[in-house]
Amino acid sequence: MYVDDCQYTRDGKRYRRVLLREGFRDQGKVKHRTIANISNCTEKEIEAIKFALKNKEDLAQIKVLEGTVRSEQGPCVGAIMVLKTIADRLHITEALGDGDMGRMALWQVIARVIDQGSRLSAVRLAKKHAIADVLNISGFDEDDLYNNLDWLSENQANIELNLFNSRYKNKPKLYLYDVTSSYLEGLKNELGDWAGQSHEIV
């Protein structure tokens, strides 16, 4: 395995191509294949790969570097960004509003999808995700989330109306709904008349 570092000129412009390659024999002939294109790596990263390959038989040279490189796990971004994008497209973000309570309610929705649990677990989960960067909220505890549930209860009708208006620009006059979850028995059940019917909204 080796690094194929090549510079060339095309249309008056200077280019550099850096490939991680290996040689192999096929029916007695030496051939080469590309394992990875590392042209977009930084100069230091390319030199580090060259150094590692050059000293692969003498790991002691590489161990000298041990302790000089430190890796850290930052806040997770992927899951919260995906769910925030979905919430935006479904107009959930718009329906909840851009206030502190709306953003905290959105976090409760997202936290529920990522890892179902209690308000306390949602607080702990927030410490692992980049909610300050994505949702612009930070520094809350489970009591704040419980207060947020009170806010959601008080504003439920408006939130549902906002969701409805964002979904239906031209409000339909006829609604068909499924009541197959209703279980009715008997020959003289007056509630049975409602099963499967549609109603016109005036």
97-130, pLDDT tens digit by residue?
989 999 999 999 999 898 888 888 888 888 888 8
Collapsed DSSP state (helix, strand, coil) of residue 37 = strand
**CB 131: neighbour CB atoms within 10 A?**
25
Burial of 186 (0-12, 13-18, 19+ CB in 10 A): exposed
Question: Shortest CA distance to 76 belongs to which of 105, 42, 111?
Answer: 111
- What confidence score (pLDDT) does residue 95 get? 92
pLDDT tens by residue, 21-73: 888 888 888 888 888 888 888 888 888 888 888 877 776 666 665 556 666 77
**pLDDT score at 61:** 60
Report the alpha-carbon distance of residue 92 to residue 162 in Å, rounded.
9
Q: Is the model's pTM score more than 0.85?
A: no
